[in-house]
Amino acid sequence: MPTHLLTVDEANTISRTPQKDVWDFCEKELNDSYDSLPNTRTSDEKGRITKGAALAILGRVQMAEKKWAAAAATYKKIIDLGVYEIDQKGYHQLFMQVGEDSKEIILAAQFQEDTYSHVMLQYLYPEAFGGWHQFSPYNELVQTFECTDGKTIDKSPLYNVDAPYDNRDPRLDYTIMINGRTKFEGQTFVSTPNSSSPDKMNKYNWSGYCINKFMDSTFSGNLMNYGGNFSIIRYAEVLLSYLESKMEAGDPISQSLLDQTINAVRGRASVNMPPVTATDAATLRPIIRRERTVEFAFEGLHYYDILRWGIAASELNRQFTGMKLTNSPSTYKDFPVDANGFFIYQKRNFVAGKNELWPIPQSERDINPNLTQNAGY
């Protein structure tokens, strides 16, 4: 791990740094810097790092290392700053231009239309809305969202497999565009196979779903010239990470702590899901993990979460499904469906003990023979 500008000879002979040394370096840099940073930034310094952002990154590092007590202490420092809060105005607005100054956002990538814009909306929007429809979520994410009674779909009496999108956590509709259900700027999203819709499921072998989370109804400009910021760290992550770290550290979990953390996230006005009451770790752990999955969907956290939880192989090495196609799966012949009528979509492979790490490019190893390869490659 270079900590200074390398010469050509150094770059071509450097050896790999032990993982622990990399972690230690990251922790030291963040610990040495956060106290010198301001709690907030003025408008002319918007987007620059703050004390809370540095601490939140430190917390991620400590959680990845399973330093639970240290992580809990780090997240408590952010909470005690009194700078951030859960936004009550609207969950969906957090991911639009109108919400980019929210007190829930701790760190965001900064963009500006015409000056420093990005093209995410062009890739994101369905074709019927002027986009390229490049993202196609799996039904397994859809199934993760609880019903409005706070129970999972396998336990809730509110779940109806023939109407699977009804009576669900409001974040499902905020996050996923669903055929015949989701409306955007007065237009209904349609992905019915063999329909006239440019987003029909079978056009490019899509799942039938599309991402709704970053669709910005306040923007009417060129989708390739969007100036909305992209959130990197939100206060919701701080609260859920604090609770997880306290739990994994073996600290007692009280209802008061639940109300200050996970229930503050679930209980925002635009979501209003029932409060969590489980205080034992065995019951609470899957609840926290599910909450992180639905709350931060498509925000870049989930892959790193399942890696540090050690469940990447079980999550990714399986058959994935798509939209609901029929309520009569035994007689439906148009497309392959499972026993509940969901489209049998893509099968993914993930090898435990190998794919948790990426391979070192052979071209780099040809230049520098001191670079060893990761296991399995």
DSSP states of 326-369? -S-TTT--SS-B-TTSEEEEEE----TTTTTSPPPPHHHHHH-T
User: What confidence tens digit (pLDDT) does each residue in 134-162 have?
Assistant: 999 999 999 999 999 999 999 999 999 99
Model confidence band, residue 25 (pLDDT cutoffs 50, 70, 90): very high
Q: Say if residue 265's pLDDT is above 90.
A: yes
Rounded to whole angstroms, the Cα distance separating 68 from 71 reads 5
Rounded to whole angstroms, the Cα distance separating 373 from 196 reads 50
Q: Which residue do the tokens 């999108």 mark?
A: 165
Rounded to whole angstroms, the Cα distance separating 276 from 12 reads 54
Average pLDDT, the chain: 97
Q: Tell me which CATH code domain 8-110+229-309 carries.
A: 1.25.40.390
User: What confidence tens digit (pLDDT) does each residue in 168-210 have?
Assistant: 999 999 999 999 999 999 999 999 999 999 999 999 999 999 9
Distances in Å between the Cα of 350 and the Cα atoms of 242, 306, 307 are: 30, 12, 12
Report the candidate in 247, 135, 273, 278 with the shortest Cα–Cα distance to residue 199: 135
Q: What percent of the chain has pLDDT over 90?
A: 99
* Beta strands in the chain, from DSSP E residues, in sequence order: 105-109, 176-177, 183-184, 187-188, 210-211, 230-234, 319-324, 342-347
The reported pLDDT for the residue numbered 1 is 83
Helix (H, G, I), strand (E, B) or coil at 316: helix
Handedness of CA 327, 333, 337, 342 (dihedral sign): negative
Give the pairing of strands 183-184 and 176-177. Answer: unpaired
Rounded to whole angstroms, the Cα distance separating 375 from 139 reads 32
User: What confidence tens digit (pLDDT) does each residue in 106-135 have?
Assistant: 999 999 999 999 999 999 999 999 999 999
User: What confidence tens digit (pLDDT) does each residue in 294-330 have?
Assistant: 999 999 999 999 999 999 999 999 999 999 999 999 9
Q: Say if residue 2's pLDDT is above 90.
A: no
Phi and psi, residue 268, nearest 5°: -55, 150
User: What confidence tens digit (pLDDT) does each residue in 223-250 have?
Assistant: 999 999 999 999 999 999 999 999 999 9
The reported pLDDT for the residue numbered 343 is 98
The reported pLDDT for the residue numbered 84 is 98
Contact (Cβ atoms closer than 8 angstroms) between residue 190 and residue 199: yes
